[in-house]
Chain A
Amino acid sequence: MRPRRLLTPWLLLAPALAVALVFHIVPFFRTVQLSFTDFRLSSGGQYIGLENFGALASSEVFWLSAGNTLLYVVVVVPLLVALPLLLALLVQPKIPAMPFFRASFYTPVIASMVVVGLIWVFLLKEQGPVNWLLQTLRIVQEPLPFLTDGTLLLFSCMLVTVWKGLGFYMVIYLTALANVPGELHEAAQVDGAGSIRRFWSVTIPSVRPTMLLVGVLSAIAAMKVYAEIYVIAGPTAGPGGTVRSMVFTIREVGSGFDGQIGYAAAMSLVLFVFTIGLTVVLQKLNRENREA
């Protein structure tokens, strides 16, 4: 083999390897290293052992961020596993105008979270259309303070996350549904199973692996929630600064002129461990579910 041939694969791989190493792999190890220092953007820093992690454990802001983030996962993931499946079943039949509906249902996905967040800030205002609707339908007497009450604000962000995510997971389910053999449904129908029965005993078992995939993807996405919090609750994290996620707090303490890089890096590592742990737990749950 000529030497040029030996080089070819590496020439082809060079740009991708450079980006992966410089902007992903090395920064990851650097994050680990920084988490054991008191590095600041303005003054540098030195090795301080596990001090950052101790500081995290006794930080109210950290526990608030972690609690909000986990609550986010617990609320958002079940909705994003179930609702897009129903949506996919709704747009699956090949009947007139369906391409139009599919594309429309996907539109919130292509818009940026900043645009979507700003639109919902408008809709959820005290005198906005959502409150008008709730009052007209007599669901509430007084307008709900979606954007000014700390707790409601967090749920408003979740609403926006779910609303924007529906179409994305719908497309994943559509691909899975296309691979379910039609004979299964026909056989069940011949046996006298109604459509609800067929949903539980044919559709659900055949898309179960996809449900796990959607669960993992939406859980990882929920762990990383940032833009909707920043846009809807504002740069100060809502009233009293309580509407914050982990990424929100990492950015807050880690950036700026005097960013506490070391402390932010420690929090980033905790986020990483949470994310990996959650993925493993979900996978395990699914396995047990299957054996049962």
Chain B
Amino acid sequence: MSVIESTDPALAEASVGAAPRPARRPRRRPMRPAGVAKRVLHYVVLAAVLVLLMGPFVYTLGTSLKGDADSVFSYPPYFIPRDPTLENFAKVAEIIPVWTFIGNSLIVATVSTITNILFGSMAGWALARLRFRGNASAYLLFLATLVIPFEVIFISVFLTSKQLGLVDTLAGVILPSAVTGFSILLFRTAFGSLAKAVDEAAVIDGASEFQRYWRVSMPQVKGTMAVVGIFSFMFAWDDFLWPQIVLTSQQNYTLTVGLEFLAGAFADDQKVVAAGTMIAVIPLIVAFFIAQKWFFRGAGEGAVKG
């Protein structure tokens, strides 16, 4: 792993040499020993924080793979199983209908991603690109939804959902965050910063509003689409309070609610609980590490624009 390699001074120096720098100017001296020491120290601190923030996941992964002959609470603790097995994962599937929960979470998160991108961009485009009576009021209304925390209103949202027959349905989980003020405002800023000329040319060419939105503007805000999509998916996948309130029967549970149920019922079997948490988090971590380059670029863009 590169972390360990980089704490080796020779290698750290080599990698420093490889780093791009405006080197040719004679004023710049090559890195002094003090500079190398500083760089090594930097990596040592990074490695320490890495252990602090990733260690718990790795340790739990190890625990989830431990077999009958392994101890979970030993002094000193160890995380590489001596009797490795996948049995704990099988046990999770026996105790709770984990595939159903995963399916429910996937439906909720995917639908919420699509609706936030689609409805958020529609509203954001109308607010940023069309002049009409009521534009400012609609904008203020969306701002207001950002100021009112959902935790303040969830009791009466539950009443509304009950009257609409949405209790204990996945639609009931999705609808309150199907399009958030956050998504709308991000799209509004993104569309607002697009050049007007292309849009005006499209108007002269006789394009309808819908064509201008879908064919001219949408392809230019892919970064914002990525940010809104990733955050909507993550929020829906991780949310706990609302699904816990609105879902009453087990076959409709999302993964977070199901996991809490598993932990409540099998608190003593640490290996099984560990396996359950890994089922919930590993797909997300893998997807995130694949998309991370894109994510940090998009998040930066979104924040600058927003």
Contacts and interface: CB of A to CB of B under 8 A. Distances in A.
Contact of B300 (A121, A129, A175, A265): A175
Interface stretch (B22-30, B53-61, B83-91, B218-226): B53-61
A34 B156 contact: yes
Residue from the set B42, B256, B260 with the largest chain A CB neighbour count within 10 Å? B260
A172 interface: yes
B49 A90 contact: yes
A182 to B, nearest CB: 12
A247 B154 CA distance: 10
B303 A122 contact: no
Contact of B122 (A13, A107, A163, A175): A13
B237 A112 contact: yes
Interface residues of A, number: 92
Interface stretch (A53-61, A201-209, A220-228, A282-290): A220-228
A225 to B, nearest CB: 9
B93 interface: no
B153 A28 contact: yes
B303 A172 contact: yes
Interface string A234-245: 110000000000
B18 interface: yes
B119 A16 contact: yes
A120 interface: yes
A244 to B, nearest CB: 14
A127 B75 contact: yes
B84 to A, nearest CB: 18
Contact of A111 (B130, B160, B238): B238
B234 interface: yes
Contacts of A179: 304
B281 A19 contact: no
B245 A251 contact: yes
Nearest to B148: A28
B181 interface: yes
Q: Is the interface of A mostly helix, strand, loop or mixed?
A: helix
Contact of A104 (B50, B210, B241): B50
A167 interface: yes
Nearest to A179: B304
A102 B18 contact: no
A8 interface: yes
Interface of chain B: mostly helix, strand, loop or mixed: helix
Nearest to A228: B240
Nearest to A255: B245
B73 A127 contact: yes
A124 to B, nearest CB: 10
A115 B157 contact: no
A103 to B, nearest CB: 4
Contacts of A137: none
Interface in B155-212: 155-160, 175-176, 178-179, 181, 184, 209-210
Given A17-B141, A107-B285, A231-B260, A122 B273 contact: yes
Contacts of A172: 303
A12 B122 contact: yes
Interface in B268-286: 270, 273-274, 276-277, 280-281, 284-285
A28 B176 CA distance: 13
B281 A112 contact: yes
A176 to B, nearest CB: 9
Nearest to A96: B15
Interface in A123-141: 123, 125, 127-129, 132, 136
Interface in A64-121: 87, 90-91, 93-97, 99-108, 110-115, 118-121
Contacts of A234: 264
B300 A178 contact: yes
A95 B38 CA distance: 13
A25 interface: yes
Given A12-B122, A107-B285, A129-B59, A122 B270 contact: yes
Given A16-B122, A90-B45, A102-B296, A271 B152 contact: yes
A275 B73 contact: no
Given A16-B120, A93-B42, A224-B149, A119 B49 contact: no
A177 to B, nearest CB: 11
Nearest to A245: B151
B18 A119 contact: no
B159 A6 contact: no
A261 B245 contact: no
B209 to A, nearest CB: 5
B178 A175 contact: no
B135 interface: yes
B268 to A, nearest CB: 11
B144 interface: yes
B56 A261 contact: no
24 contacts: A12-B125, A13-B126, A15-B119, A16-B184, A26-B160, A27-B153, A27-B156, A28-B152, A30-B153, A30-B159, A30-B160, A31-B153, A91-B46, A95-B42, A97-B3, A111-B57, A112-B240, A114-B260, A115-B256, A118-B259, A122-B274, A132-B77, A251-B241, A255-B245
Given A99-B293, A127-B75, 9 more contacts: A15-B122, A95-B19, A96-B19, A111-B238, A112-B240, A234-B264, A250-B154, A268-B151, A268-B153
